[in-house]
Amino acid sequence: MFDKILFISSALATIVGAVLTISVKNIMHAAVFLLLSLLGVAGLYLTLGADFVAVIQLVVYVGGVVVLMVFAVMLTAGSSGQKANRFGLVKIPTMGNFRTYTIGIVFAALVLMTIIKLYTNVFAMSRLAQIPAYSPTVSKIGISLVGTHVLAFEISSVLLLGALVGAAIVSRPRRENR
Amino acid sequence: MNQTVASYLLQYEPVQQLLAFLSKLLGFNAISLLYFLIFALAILAAVGFLSLVGGLGTYAERKISADMQARIGPNRVGPYGILQFLADGVKMLLKEDIVPTQSDKFLFYVAPMLCIVGVFGTIAVVPFSSGFTIFDFNVGLVYLIGISSLVGLGVFLGGYGSNSKWSMLGGMRGASQIISYEIPVVLSALSIVLLSGGLSFSSLVKAQGGWPHQWFIFHNPFTFVGFFILFIGSLAETNRAPFDLPEAESELVSGYHTEFSGMRFGFFALAEYIEVFVVCGLAAALFLGGYNVPMNLGGDGLIGQVLQLGSFISKTLFLYYMVIVTRWTLPRLRVDQLMTMCWKYLIPISMVNLIMVGLWMVAFDGKSIFDLIFSGASVATGTGH
């Protein structure tokens, strides 16, 4: 009963937030609704017993990504002249030409294929799977990160190093050519 | 397993009897209902207590600042003016709620809510005592850091939605400051996670002892430095002086909450004072032994719980006092000084700290410096063993 209430409220937050994110005109409001949606996803993780993933969702998406988005919107809004209002973009002329529609259709097809592939497994299951009893996941994730999956872990650190070096190169003052 | 206040109370005979009585009365297993009731009561108690602390915080701030400046401070409402915060609260509730016509209404309404939700969300894991932690989440520290980042977003959206230059500047400063100072705070908290080997507040606190030499602040020289980094970082995260740039009165009128009036302003103010309490509690739990009582007086019974509550709250309030004294002692930093201090000093120091704490764990097998001195002394004098 209690689990169901938690699940329904998290799912509602996720769906309502996602729908409002793509339907509101104002990009700042969209960021706030995206926040609601991401919080709902964290709640969904919690109802599945994935405690570590849920709090990392909170830290990374709520604390990092949404704040960064809001920052980016604020720093770029108004810089593109008449096309943007105070809250971001009103309309960009290039938004609906042949090229963008093609790209959109290709990506929609990709997403649809992924979803169908996922859902075939779901429908193949005859009944609702039983969620195993709750057990803490932190130590398991830690052990597998530096154990069986150490290669992926190290490669992602190389990626982060690349991003760091790139940021340093972009932001450092240009040297004058004498 | 995740310990909660409900599972703690259910150990006791009267609560089990109540459960049996309720089940018999209602005709079904009432354990969920009882859990719900206990959580509701515990959250009500914690929110009420923290609101009281927040309210009294404003009073303490005025009284201490008055003392430091050889004034008297509030002295009209109640004995020694102690009811001043109630008068302020009533005033805020009765004030007209002004929403600027040119503001972004939605963001204007949402921003104070985000602040207060972010702060009250942290209460769930604050370790008041071994029994009275509402939910001893096994990743409680990460949860606290994650949910409290809503406050930064609230500050920023409040500044942005007001559509005023002062608010805008305050909000920008607030957001950049909160994001920047999160890094040294998390890094120095991580060094404590290394030492205790757990992310839940109970494991962090229980790895320490009741006496000061068992606290993590005196564990080794690096954690000693780490405590001050965490403390400075949490001053900046809660926008307290000398880092109160987001609401710098002399430049920005009142910063991000310039346009807010009535209870919306009250939410911002209350969120700030409660957040100060929460981050002081975090520092006390991580470095100052948390709720540990010397010699484990009172055990795990109800008397022990009261002593533990007293231990935790007195440590936290001491830090709260230090925060207020700091505010009225130091002048405000400039923006560039603020960023320099964070990115060029605090973050490198805390990174070195983290690595050195790891090395200390390897080199001395996780023993604290006092353990090493005592064992060395007992070997030298031939006593012990």
In a domain, A127, yes or no: no
Alpha-carbon distance values, A110 to A19, A113, A124, B74 (Å): 21, 5, 21, 66
Please report the pLDDT score of residue A113 as a whole number.
Answer: 92
Query: How many Å apart are CA B274 and CA B268, to the nearest integer?
Result: 10
Q: Which domain holds residue A61?
A: 1-93
- Residue range A91-139, pLDDT digits in tens: 555 556 777 788 889 999 999 999 888 888 777 765 666 666 667 778 8
Residue with tokens 């880092």: B243
Q: Where are the beta strands (DSSP E) in B60-214?
A: 135-136
ipTM for the predicted complex: 0.79
In a domain, A33, yes or no: yes
CA distance B176 to chain A (A): 9
Alpha-carbon distance values, A85 to A26, A28, A76, A89 (Å): 10, 12, 11, 6
In a domain, A142, yes or no: no
CA distance A123 to chain B (A): 32
Across the interface, which of A62, A70, A138 has its CB nearest the CB of B146?
Answer: A62
Residue type, B113: M
Q: Which residues of B touch A35 (CB under 8 A)?
A: 153
* CB proximity list for A93: less than 8 A, separation 6 or greater: A83
CA distance A51 to chain B (A): 7
Asked if residues B184 and B350 have their Cβ atoms less than 8 Å apart, the reply is yes
A55 in contact with B, Cβ within 8 Å:
yes
Please report the pLDDT score of residue A80 as a whole number.
Answer: 45
In a domain, A72, yes or no: yes
- Residue range B255-269, pLDDT digits in tens: 788 888 888 888 888
Closest residue in B to A58 (Cα) is B146
User: Residue B290 — left, alpha, or beta (φ > 0 → left; ψ -120 to 50 → alpha)?
Assistant: left
Please report the pLDDT score of residue A16 as a whole number.
Answer: 93
SS3 content of chain B, % helix, strand, coil (to 5): 75, 0, 25
The count of other CB atoms within 10 Å of the CB of residue B216 is 27
Q: Indicate yes or no: CB of A62 within 8 angstroms of CB of B152.
A: no
CA distance B188 to chain A (A): 17
Nearest 5°: the CA angle B76, B52, B162 is 90
Across the interface, which of B153, B172, B199 has its CB nearest the CB of A138?
Answer: B199
The values of phi and psi at residue B135, to 5°, are -145, 110
Per the structure block, which two tokens stand in for A156?
């992602």
A58 in contact with B, Cβ within 8 Å:
yes
Across the interface, which of B110, B138, B160 has its CB nearest the CB of A51?
Answer: B138
In chain A, the number of structural domains is: 1
A136 in contact with B, Cβ within 8 Å:
yes
CA distance B284 to chain A (A): 22
In a domain, A159, yes or no: no
Closest residue in A to B139 (Cα) is A52
Q: Indicate yes or no: CB of B157 within 8 angstroms of CB of A28.
A: yes
Q: Indicate yes or no: CB of B152 within 8 angstroms of CB of A63.
A: yes
Residue type, B75: N
Please report the pLDDT score of residue B121 as a whole number.
Answer: 87
Which is it for the CA torsion B227, B232, B236, B241, positive or negative?
positive
CATH number at residue A79: 1.20.120.1200
In a domain, A106, yes or no: no
Across the interface, which of B32, B145, B179 has its CB nearest the CB of A67?
Answer: B179
Q: Which of B157, B329, B114 is nearest to B246 (CA)?
A: B157
Q: What residue ranges of chain B have pLDDT lower than 70?
A: 1-2, 27, 298, 380, 382-385
B169 in contact with A, Cβ within 8 Å:
no
Across the interface, which of A52, A59, A67 has its CB nearest the CB of B145?
Answer: A59
Q: Indicate yes or no: CB of A28 within 8 angstroms of CB of B104.
A: yes
Q: Which residues of B touch A74 (CB under 8 A)?
A: 160, 172
- Residue range A37-94, pLDDT digits in tens: 998 998 888 888 788 888 888 888 887 888 888 887 777 654 444 445 554 555 555 5
Examine the pLDDT at A177 and tell me if it is beyond 80: no
In a domain, A138, yes or no: no
Per the structure block, which two tokens stand in for B68?
């430091």
Q: What mean pLDDT is predicted for residues A20-48?
A: 86
In a domain, A145, yes or no: no
Please report the pLDDT score of residue A129 as a whole number.
Answer: 61
Per the structure block, which two tokens stand in for B12?
């006791």
